[in-house]
Chains A and B, each alone.
Chain A
Amino acid sequence: MRGYQKFAVVMVCIFAVFYTGCAKQERKQEGPSEVIKPETVYESEMIASMAAGKDKDIYIGLYNETRDIVHLMEDGKSETLGSVFPDDKTGNHRITSLYLDGDKTLYIAADIGYGSEVYAEVYRLDVTSKKMSKVKTYEQYHDINRIAMLKGELVMLAKSAKAAEKEPVLRDAFDIFQYQGEVIISQDGDVVFDEFPIMFAVMGEKEMLLYAHADNKGYCYAKAEYDGKKIELGEPDYQNLGQLTAMTMTGNDTFVYAATSFDKSGLQEFNYKEYTIAELQDSWGVITEPGDLINADGVIYYRVEGGVKKFVYEQVKKQNQTLQVIESEQISFLNAPYGCGYQMKIDRLSDDEMSLKMLSQDSDYDICFMQSDDPFGYQVKEKGSFYPLTDIKEVTEYLDACFPYIREAATDGNGEIWMLPVAVSADYLLYDEEMLRKYGIDKEKLSTLGSFIDTLKALPEETRECIDATSGCMERTYLPGFAEKDGFNNQEFKKAAALLKGIQEDGVFAYHQRAGDAVNMHKQDDFICGITMAQENTNEAFLSNPYVKAAMLPAVTDKDTFRVKCSFICVNAASDNLDAALEYVKSLCSYLMERESTMMLKDKEGYLDTELVKTLYDLYEKGTVTFGMPEELYYDAWEEYKKGSIDLDKMIEEAERRLKIYREEG
């Protein structure tokens, strides 16, 4: 090679090596933030609807005896505009919706009658003169729960008994659409849109943003124009935001809504240009039945249980602050933590991708959300792939307010705080004392696995439906415990294995719909006992029953402890957005401390005063957080043993072999 050619090659090679070998990193600075708490504007248990005016005064319709409409003025004073329906002697009028047009005219929709004879009427109330006049009676419609003024006319979302006969076609398992006959009608009572509308928000003089459900294609939203006779839809965009119950525009491309959804609730804001969702208020108490949501000039009013709250939009919505969250595909029991006003972009990653992202110290994710029974969480702690939260005051305050074992789980070997626990869950034995007494079951007999199984088997057949302890659930509850602690090669496991295998075909330990529903869905009387991890605050019937209590799982060894699963977040030390992530952590801590009764906080004051909660508190107080082992270490062998292809000793040998490899290969 000629001299200069050699030189050129060498130079280019050196340059290439340096270019590819050097890392680049940038950091963005974000401003401080705190959790803004919404203000309560009005308290009442009987709110039917509300409307807001430009001068920030609110009208609230009540369904008390006198059907009052309360006018709250900006300065805090309130006046009652008298009962709306002075001629209504039977008390049959029920306010369903309010709408303020301009400053002075309040439109009120009410339902009259019951059952199949219900119909709707709309009245107009002049606020200054307090005079009421009827606009129209709508014989074929009822339950008008949204009124708007478009092109000078009233346009309403009502229900029609005739339309309710149509059956919509759902798109997939996440499609929870339920159609009750909603249609959009004009002031004259003509149907202007009947293709499964769900809710709309007014965008201008004649434009609205309509959220509907298209047959087979699912939830969608589209801009729509009202031309006086029909609603013309623009191009629909299909996004499953859930079953919306209220929505209001907050900008050209954004709207705030409340919805019953598969995975999120509370107040969210959707930006349909960027396809991002920001949580503005968490689900705590937000009404997700058709409730009202109003954006009155930058102040958002929304209904909660027992009143109306408001917050200033600009203060809560963190402009342009997005946090990238990664979560494992194995997350099963909880959703990502509340966003505290940040937009949380969540990515579900497979194991390979997670490892790759962490090992390569990717800077494009900020927070990692995991669960303690995911073995990956343990690796994160051991290998140090996190930003230590030890120096953050709010974090230490929050952890001090938690049970000591939770704080311990959050501290690693070097005393650094490596994660922020956001929720806990555990399997426990739930029972109804009265029912136990009725069937003559001694509670003591439920305290060890062997006698638990024998006792249940001995019950009369008609009680089977009231027991919620499936064999599959029990396996998944007990087996990990052995893997995490002493392994399988011991007497206790042999006993437990024989017991668990023995209940496979037994009808007592099959799935029973009634008991399952009782635990998950507020039904009361069909329940004796069961093994569950239902959170106590989901079942109101159980909460109000002084006999329903929680206890530790039937024990298999005499060293059994209450095993708690914890979901937590870790901050990525290499993140671009580290400051925002840390501010978020601070906000999340203050939010969690306000939440109360999360089963993590020590302070008894915050918890509900019922037997169930008290017993749960006692259990959680003495729990331990355990980090999981991969299921594949023992599950295959267990399946083979259950089928009968291998005997117990072989199963133990195989599981122990794999455990040994897992522990020692790295």
Chain B
Amino acid sequence: MLCMLPSILGTLIFFVVPYFRMVYYSLLDNQFRRNFVGLRNYIRVVKNQYFLLASKNSILLILLGVPVLVIAAIILSLFIRFYLEESRWKWIRYAFILPMFLPTAAVSLIWRELFSGASTALPVYTLYWWKNMGISIILLVSAFSSVNPEILQSAKIDGAGNIKRHIFITLPMNMPIIIFVTLLGIVNSFRIFKESYLFYGNHYPPDYSYTLQYYINNNFYKLNYQVLSSSAIITSLYVALLVFAFLKWQKRFQY
């Protein structure tokens, strides 16, 4: 209906058109000479060892960081929602969301002091978990609150232990929001660039922290828009694949 028009229009103009523009640019050889070269840029990018390194690191961040985040968030949310609801520690959930409000520059400075001797990508991972835990907990707690308490009561009466209760009732009922939290985690894993850059202080971090954004950013300064756009599109394609696979997998939990 027409009520959808403003949103679709806006998204079209400000997001879809730029995306296709980017696709167009990725098919050229050079921003300034504009010769059409088809898929040559994509092949070049895929063969580039640093693109592969960057992809590996980014995917690793998703595959390692996101599950840990989601599982920890679920455990914490369950605990907060069901055991702290009546106690005076209810406000603790808000302590977790505080990190989201702190600006990047301040955080990076502090992180530098805390992790000055790190030799793995741990600082970046902890930064990621620290920043995103709050939002996940808020969302999950809010969703868990909507579970009908009668169902849980009846399960208790039936003799199900606490943990079992939650695994088989609460979680499946809230699968959509868990999926959403996972998706959000994936999206935010791409947004961790600025913090990481300020932490390392330069554009060439150690190999284990060299993610896709560094690759893209460095090529931006080299006026290499072709590499930038092809790698961005490749990234969007395999993220799309990931999301698609994930959605299909969770259909098993539909009820």
Contacts and interface: CB of A to CB of B under 8 A. Distances in A.
Direct contact of A and B (CB under 8 A): yes
Interface string A368-410: 0000000010011011110000000000000000000000000
A573 B32 contact: yes
**Residue among B21, B210, B215, B224 with the highest chain A CB neighbour number at 10 A:** B224
B223 A16 contact: no
Interface stretch (B182-190, B197-205, B235-243): B197-205
Given A355-B220, A664-B49, A632 B203 contact: yes
Interface in B216-236: 218-225, 227
Contact of A665 (B17, B215, B223): B215
A8 interface: yes
A665 B32 contact: no
Contacts of A355: 220-221, 223
A17 B224 contact: no
A510 B180 CA distance: 61
A359 B224 CA distance: 9
B31 A13 contact: no
Contact of A21 (B17, B31, B204): B17
A319 B107 CA distance: 52
Contacts of A358: 223
A499 interface: no
Given A13-B9, A383-B30, A636 B222 contact: no
B26 to A, nearest CB: 13
B227 A383 contact: no
Contact of A384 (B4, B32, B49, B210): B32
A361 interface: yes
Contact of B221 (A16, A17, A379): A379
Contacts of A385: 31-32, 223
Contacts of A380: 223
B252 interface: no
Nearest to A659: B204
Interface in B14-53: 17, 21, 30-33, 48-51
Interface in A1-42: 1, 5, 8-9, 12-13, 16-17, 20-21
Contacts of A21: 17, 21
Given A16-B9, A573-B32, A665-B48, A632 B202 contact: yes
Nearest to A386: B32
A633 interface: yes
**Residue among B49, B204, B210 with the highest chain A CB neighbour number at 10 A:** B204
Interface residues of A, number: 35
A661 interface: yes
B163 interface: no
Given A21-B21, A632-B204, A633-B204, A665 B219 contact: yes
A666 interface: yes
B128 to A, nearest CB: 23
Interface string A625-641: 00000101100100000
A649 interface: no
B12 interface: yes
A376 B224 contact: no
A488 to B, nearest CB: 14
Given A1-B1, A5-B1, A20-B17, A662 B224 contact: no
B224 A383 contact: yes
A232 interface: no
B218 A636 contact: no
B47 to A, nearest CB: 11
Given A376-B221, A666-B222, A13 B12 contact: yes
A17 B12 contact: yes
A383 B224 CA distance: 8
A658 interface: yes
B2 interface: yes
B33 A384 contact: yes
Contacts of A492: none
B13 interface: yes
B8 interface: yes
A237 interface: no
A352 B51 CA distance: 21
A351 interface: yes
Contacts of B5: 8-9, 12
Contacts of B227: 666
A358 B220 CA distance: 11
B223 A13 contact: no
B31 A351 contact: no
Contacts of A12: 5, 9
A614 B17 CA distance: 61
A16 B224 CA distance: 29
B219 A666 contact: yes
Nearest to A385: B32
Given A8-B2, A664-B49, A665-B48, A16 B32 contact: no
Nearest to A630: B203
A158 B48 CA distance: 72
A620 to B, nearest CB: 30
B218 A665 contact: yes
B32 A9 contact: no
Nearest to A376: B221
A389 to B, nearest CB: 15
A383 B31 contact: yes
Interface in A646-660: 657-658
A359 B13 contact: no
B32 A383 contact: yes
B199 to A, nearest CB: 13
A632 B205 CA distance: 11
B89 to A, nearest CB: 44
A376 B30 CA distance: 16
Contact of A361 (B32, B49, B201, B224): B32
Nearest to A631: B202
Nearest to B25: A359
Nearest to A662: B204
**Residue among A21, A661, A665 with the highest chain B CB neighbour number at 10 A:** A665
A661 B204 contact: yes
A540 B215 CA distance: 51
Interface string A347-364: 000011001001101000
Contacts of B210: 661
A16 B204 CA distance: 40
B33 A16 contact: no
Nearest to B227: A666
A615 B183 CA distance: 68
B195 to A, nearest CB: 17
A334 B210 CA distance: 36
Contact of A379 (B1, B8, B223): B223
Interface of A: 1, 5, 8-9, 12-13, 16-17, 20-21, 351-352, 355, 358-359, 361, 376, 379-380, 382-385, 573, 630, 632-633, 636, 657-658, 661-662, 664-666
Given A361-B31, A632-B204, 11 more contacts: A5-B2, A13-B12, A16-B9, A379-B221, A383-B223, A573-B32, A630-B203, A633-B204, A661-B50, A664-B48, A665-B48
29 contacts: A5-B1, A12-B5, A13-B8, A16-B9, A16-B13, A17-B17, A21-B17, A355-B220, A355-B223, A358-B223, A359-B225, A361-B32, A379-B221, A380-B223, A383-B30, A383-B222, A383-B224, A384-B30, A573-B32, A632-B203, A636-B201, A636-B202, A658-B204, A661-B218, A665-B215, A665-B219, A666-B218, A666-B222, A666-B224
